[in-house]
Amino acid sequence: MKKLLYLFILMGFVACNSGTQKTTEVAQPEQIVESTIDIGGLHCDACVTSVEKGVNSLSGIESVKVTLADSTAIVTYNASAVSIDDIEKSIEKRGYTIKAVK
């Protein structure tokens, strides 16, 4: 009878642990970067809103502030999640040009 009890306990233990696996994910450290982008073709507040909306739609963007007066965008982003090339493409996709990135 004891052997049967031990068998049930052992089967229960095996059944409870049969589907568990230990996986280790290594998260990439955040690399927060701030870049100033000189943009060509900004003419009005709607242009500013369009650029901000496009850049903000990217994953990894912390903040974006576009200024019409000097046609610049100050973008703070996680470089391990999004590249400056992706940000530039997002701006260009909306019909504007990239003059310089600082």
Q: Write the pLDDT tens digit of every residue in 72-87.
A: 999 999 999 999 999 9
pLDDT at 92: 98
What are the sequence ranges of the domains in the chain? 32-101
Q: Write the pLDDT tens digit of every residue in 21-80.
A: 555 556 668 899 999 999 999 999 999 999 999 999 999 999 999 999 999 999 999 999
pLDDT at 29: 81
pLDDT at 17: 54
4 pLDDT higher than 60: no
Tell me the β-bridge partners of 76: 34, 63
90: Cα within 13 Å, side-chain hemisphere: 21
> Thinking of the domain 32-101, which architecture would CATH place it in?
2-Layer Sandwich (3.30)
